[in-house]
Structure 1
Amino acid sequence: MKKEIAIAALGELLIDFTEAGISKNGRKLFEQNPGGAPANLLTVASHMGYRTAFIGKIGTDMHGAFLKKTLQQEGIATGAVVEDEHYFTTLAFVEIDEKGERNFSFARKPGADTQLQTEELDVKLLSDCRIFHFGSLSLTQEPSRGTTLEAIRIAKDAGALISYDPNYRASLWPDEETAVAQMKSVIPLADVMKVSDEESLLLTGAADYEEAADQLLSNGLKLVAITLGSKGALVATSTYREIVKAFPVNAVDTTGAGDSFWGGFLSCYLSYDKKMEDLGVEELRRCALTGNATAGLCVQKRGGIPSIPTRKEIEEFIRERTDR
């Protein structure tokens, strides 16, 4: 029986208050941008025409209501989004430098996203998705850590491809050692993994990205994608390895770049209707190309979800730059 949901993702749904200029009084202005890594990824897949669903918790406050409405407007199912009156929706304040790189400050003590309980999981949804995706922010504290592990178990037992994207935010962990231990502990549970260049070295202690890819694959992963910023992405399996170059663009805000890459990659993968391990070299290359194009468009705008391009924009972007 064919599964109804292409991708279900569990994790943080939050507001990124992104720097947006200076007021008349000389004060920084911040723009309310809906985001959260799992939600960013789902938005890409939804724009690409796939059925998606978000699993997580928000507060019964103005920010939670705004986020839920945003997901619905993006075509992402919200039946598994829990609203909790006892916790405030998580907020992130994002400072951006001249290269579009970010510095985060979180209001999350605790945020609603960390309070998702195991009994609040939608078991039917987890059993009815082709891909189950999660990140590491839900691993920072209980009860969301245990809930994430249970969701992985349910989805894996039902035959879903398990996708993992460690998203290291130092201020959300008691120390680096704890963060690395927790982020590494779930790698053997995943089938595919996207990780940034810095995070790949942090998690493995490797001297370079090639060595990091080897170490990560040794955990039983079918595929590892290491994003390398403006250089593109290293895609590695047991039989294939290549750095697929990025498209040159002028980056305004890198928020959501990695999520956009992975959302584009997984969406392209879904279009082949094959097992990950059965993809050929050209198909893997096309997945990375689609990811790079999605990320290249994303970083030209501010915010997470608001910067996600449409399918038409992605296809035109690729066509214009590969037909030359």
Structure 2
Amino acid sequence: MTEMPRAVCVIGEALIDIVRTSDATTELPGGSPANVAYGLGLLGVDTTFLTHLGDDERGRLIAEHLAGVRLAAGSQSAARTSTAAATIGATGAASYVFDLDWSLPADASTPPARVLHTGSIASFLAPGADTVRSLLKAAEAGTIVTYDPNIRPSIIGSRDDNIGRFEAMASLASVVKLSDEDAAWLYPHLTVDEVLPQVLALGPRLAIVTLGGDGSILATRELRVQVPSARVTVVDTIGAGDTYMASLVYSLLDIDPTAVSEAELLGMGRRAAAAAGITVSRAGADLPTLAEVEAALEALAESETELETDPETETAPEPEADQP
């Protein structure tokens, strides 16, 4: 693999989340790729973000929020900054309504980076999606391409109109991450266990499906592990998948997805679960810092050690790898 800078470039939409609860309405920076870029910045990663912001109050709010992330040239050329209205239900789950404009300059480019990430609406909505695919195709040899479709049917339309777009993007990726809802929407006649090899057959070396409170599954063509979710009290789920994705990208700075081991898969999954657990335990897309993730992992290791040394406590078996 060609040696690349220990850096990440994220391509995708940034917008303002208008969050409505029974108590109040607030406006906060959001968008799945923006959240991933922001999360990587909090993890101390050298991150560049190629996006489409307006030179308006909302656009400036996003730029200030992403202070630890470098905005790529041409990222502030939109006529207006996009929005997503999120309504939080009684269970803490969010539903969305979008007002989104997505495009990129014709001369858009990405800097050399160890990982190039994209996903969500940016990979489906014209005209920007076509530019995103071109940028992925032009990625330098040695770049790890990660993709999270983060399906939003209310914006992108029907499954039949978009399955081809998803599979074209996935075929350019080294790593694909789906939620269980994404998997069911893309492949409604397949189980999660059947979706994983389906995605791997498109070309990626690593496929992941997150299962909400039931954890996540990470699979290559040779290995499969299941990792439990963190045990936390859920406040809301905004940003959970983006936190998980940012953590995966962080891990991939030091892991080769073409030759990943069982221990590495488990470590990636456990770190991502710990990070996502922090986010869902707080209101909004409040992603964790590196110190917070490390502290959560340390606490988890200590609790597992206590269970192992207590003869009166039964411990749950560790996830095992098996054939996909």
Give the TM-score, by structure 1 length: 0.88
Counterpart position of 2:75: 82
Q: Conserved in 2, the CA contact under 8 Å of 1:6 and 1:52?
A: yes
2:299 is aligned to 320
Equivalent-residue separation in structure 2 for 1:240 and 1:76 (angstroms): 34
Gaps of 5+ in 2: 304-324
Per-residue displacement from partner, 1:111-154 (whole Å, max 9, x unpaired)?
2xx121332x134x1xx111111113113332202111111012
Q: Answer whether contact 1:57 1:84 (CA < 8 A) is retained.
A: yes
State which of 86, 91, 116 in structure 2 corresponds to 1:99: 91
1:230: Cα distance to partner? 0.6
Matched, 1:122 2:109: yes
Aligned to 2:127: 143
Distance 1:151 1:298 in 2: 30
How far does the alpha carbon of each residue in 1:39-87 deviate from its partner, in whole angstroms, 9 at most, with x for none?
2112222222210110011111100011111111xx11113352226x2
* Residue from 262, 273, 283 that aligns with 1:302: 283
Shift of 1:207: 3.0
- Cα contact 2:225–2:262 (8 A) shared by 1: no
Residue type at the aligned position of 1:261: Y
Q: Deviations over 1:134-176 (max 9, x none)?
A: 1131133322021111110121x44311111011111112333
Distance (Å, rounded) in 2 between the aligned partners of 1:269 and 1:145? 24
Change beyond 3 A, Cα 1:79–1:266: closer
Structure 2 match to 1:258 = 241
Which residue of structure 1 aligns with residue 157 of structure 2? 174
Residue of structure 2 equivalent to 1:281: 262
Shift of 1:4: 3.5
Task: Give the secondary-structure state (helix, strand or coil) at the position aligned to 1:205.
Answer: coil
Q: Say which of 211, 218, 243 aligns to 1:235.
A: 218
How many residues of Structure 1 are paired with residues of Structure 2 in the alignment? 302
The residue type paired with residue 313 of structure 1 is E
Mapped partners of 2:172, 2:7: distance in 1: 19
Q: Tell me, in whole angstroms, the C-alpha distance in 2 between the residues paired with 1:80 and 1:301.
A: 33
2:199 to 216, 235, 239: 216
Shift of the 313–139 alpha-carbon distance from structure 1 to 2, 3 Å rule, reads closer
Higher helix content, 1 or 2: 1
Quote how far apart the aligned CAs of 1:300 are.
1.6
Quick one: distance in 1 between partners of 2:74 and 2:193? 38
Hey, what's the Cα distance between the residues in 1 that align with 2:168 and 2:28?
31
The CA distance in 1 between the partners of 2:247 and 2:298, in whole Å, is: 15
The match for 2:19 is 18
Quick check: 2:3–2:142 contact (8 Å CA) kept in 1? no
Which whole-Å CA distance do the structure 2 matches of 1:222 and 1:139 have between them? Answer: 20
Residue of structure 1 equivalent to 2:50: 55
Higher mean C-alpha displacement, 36-45 vs 88-97: 36-45
Spell out structure 1 runs of 4+ moving beyond 4 A: none
* CA distance, structure 2, for counterparts of residue 76 and residue 141 of structure 1: 24
Given the two structures, how large is their TM-score scaled by the length of structure 2?
0.88
Asked if structure 2 preserves the Cα contact closer than 8 Å seen for 1:163 and 1:193, the reply is yes
Deviation at 1:202, TM superposition (A): 2.1
* 2:146 paired with 1:163: yes
